[in-house]
């Protein structure tokens, strides 16, 4: 049975459901317990699960990320919350040099079933150092998985799958979507990691995106439909592994592709998607793959400048028109 709940509530349900079913699961992070979470994602969990499983950590991402990895190596299933993925940069040695490599370096003896989750990307006038989109940085590392939900249904299903997964999984959430509402089943469910979904059918151009920019793509597709251009919108759901098959199937139908990625353009997830589409669909494309990224500048603080820096429906429409009219 489904009901309408917020994105943050869907995340909490995923964590709570798994904690009820598996005593090895615990949550650690800054302000997750006594304060009910900086963004109220963990609201009420301390009352239900107690301070041994909902753990307030010091302001030291290096410390509590390493603690979580050690706990995972010893058989527990930690969920480590970064208040912002921008803050994960100080724990890069733990989350990139230790967690993803331990299974390989131990000859298969030590698994690290850990989830790192938190807010990714521009959160709304948080300034340059609090607005990192880390997917391009982190997707380059073998041994980990990355999911990026775009609505409450996916938030619960992908986080559930992440908690159950035997490998390190990064769940990239958007602070700007935490209050978004959507229909979410009451019962526990998991969505497959590495499987994209078609959000809108279309025959003229394929739009590929992940997370919050999926909604910009949907807005652009509505506008372009009034001009007679029907876009197919692909929500990747997972960045690593990447479901290139679903993307290729769509591009072979539309013969046109625009990739929308909130990361900066150089060496980005969008670059990889474009390269894969060119490799698999070279003879099917009527034009080269066009890309829409955040502008190559640090995130501004001013609201209007931040909105202009990010991918937005206007930029997407311009890219689609260029890709289709100049074919």
Burial of 108 per CB tally in 10 Å (0-12, 13-18, 19+): exposed
The DSSP secondary-structure symbol of 285 reads: -
The alpha-carbon radius of gyration of the chain (Å, integer) is: 20
- Token pair, residue 234, equals 């692909």
Using CA atoms, how far apart are residues 77 and 80, in angstroms rounded to an integer? 10
Contact 184, 293 (CB under 8 A): no
The DSSP secondary-structure symbol of 271 reads: H
- Per-residue tens of pLDDT for the chain, all 327 residues: 889 999 999 999 999 999 999 999 999 999 999 999 999 999 999 999 999 999 999 999 999 999 999 999 999 999 999 999 999 999 999 999 999 999 999 999 999 999 999 999 987 888 898 999 999 999 999 999 999 999 999 999 999 999 999 999 999 999 999 999 999 999 999 999 999 999 999 999 999 999 999 999 999 999 999 999 999 999 999 999 999 999 999 999 999 999 999 999 999 999 999 999 999 999 999 999 999 999 999 999 999 999 999 999 999 999 999 999 855
Helix (H) or strand (E) run with residue 321 in it:
helix 313-325
Using CA atoms, how far apart are residues 306 and 151, in angstroms rounded to an integer? 22
Smallest CA-to-CA distance from 29 within 72, 76, 67, 77 is with: 67
Using CA atoms, how far apart are residues 119 and 131, in angstroms rounded to an integer? 9
Tokens 């959160």 label which residue? 123
pLDDT tens-digit readout, 121-150:
987 888 898 999 999 999 999 999 999 999
Q: What global pTM score does this model have?
A: 0.96
Helix (H) or strand (E) run with residue 181 in it:
strand 181-185
Torsion sign across C-alpha atoms 279, 245, 263, 169: negative
Cβ-Cβ contacts under 8 Å for 166 (sequence gap 6 or more): 111, 113
Q: Which residues pair with 80 in a beta bridge?
A: 28, 116
Residue 156, SS3 per DSSP: helix
DSSP-assigned states of every residue in 42-94 = TTTHHHHH-TTTEEE--S-HHHHHHHHHHHHHTT-EEEEEES-GGGGGGGHII
Instruction: Enumerate the active-site residues.
Output: 61, 130
Contact 68, 115 (CB under 8 A): no
Residue 135, SS3 per DSSP: helix
Domains of the chain: 2-185 (3.40.50.970), 197-325 (3.40.50.920)
């Amino acid at each position: 049975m489904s009901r309408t709940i917020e994105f943050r509530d869907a995340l909490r349900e995923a964590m709570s459901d798994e904690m009820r079913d598996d005593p090895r699961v615990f949550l650690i992070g800054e302000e997750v317990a006594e304060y009910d979470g900086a963004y109220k994602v963990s609201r009420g969990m301390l009352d239900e699960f107690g301070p041994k499983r909902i753990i307030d950590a010091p302001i030291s991402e290096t410390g509590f990320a390493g603690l979580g990895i050690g706990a995972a190596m010893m058989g527990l299933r930690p969920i480590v919350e970064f208040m912002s993925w921008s803050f994960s940069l100080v724990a890069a040695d733990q989350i990139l040099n230790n967690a993803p490599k331990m299974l390989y370096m131990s000859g298969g003896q030590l698994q690290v079933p850990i989830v790192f989750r938190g807010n990714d990307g521009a959160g709304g006038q948080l300034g340059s150092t609090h607005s990192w989109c880390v997917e391009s940085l982190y997707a380059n590392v073998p041994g980990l998985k990355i999911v990026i939900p775009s609505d409450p249904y996916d938030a619960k299903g992908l986080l559930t799958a992440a908690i159950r997964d035997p490998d390190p999984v990064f769940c990239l959430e958007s602070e700007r979507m935490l209050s978004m509402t959507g229909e979410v089943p009451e019962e526990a469910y998991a969505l497959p990691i590495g499987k994209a979904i078609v959000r809108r059918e279309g025959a003229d151009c394929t739009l590929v995106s992940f997370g919050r920019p999926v909604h910009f793509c949907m807005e652009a597709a509505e506008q372009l439909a009034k001009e007679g251009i029907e876009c197919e919108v692909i929500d990747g759901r997972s960045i690593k592994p990447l479901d290139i098959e679903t993307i290729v199937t769509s591009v072979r139908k539309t013969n046109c592709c625009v990739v929308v990625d909130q990361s900066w353009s150089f060496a980005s997830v969008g670059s990889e998607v474009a390269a894969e589409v060119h490799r698999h669909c070279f003879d099917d494309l009527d034009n080269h793959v066009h890309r829409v990224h955040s502008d190559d500048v640090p995130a501004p603080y001013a609201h209007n400048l931040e909105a202009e820096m990010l991918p937005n429906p206007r930029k997407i429409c311009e890219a689609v028109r260029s890709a289709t009219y100049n074919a």
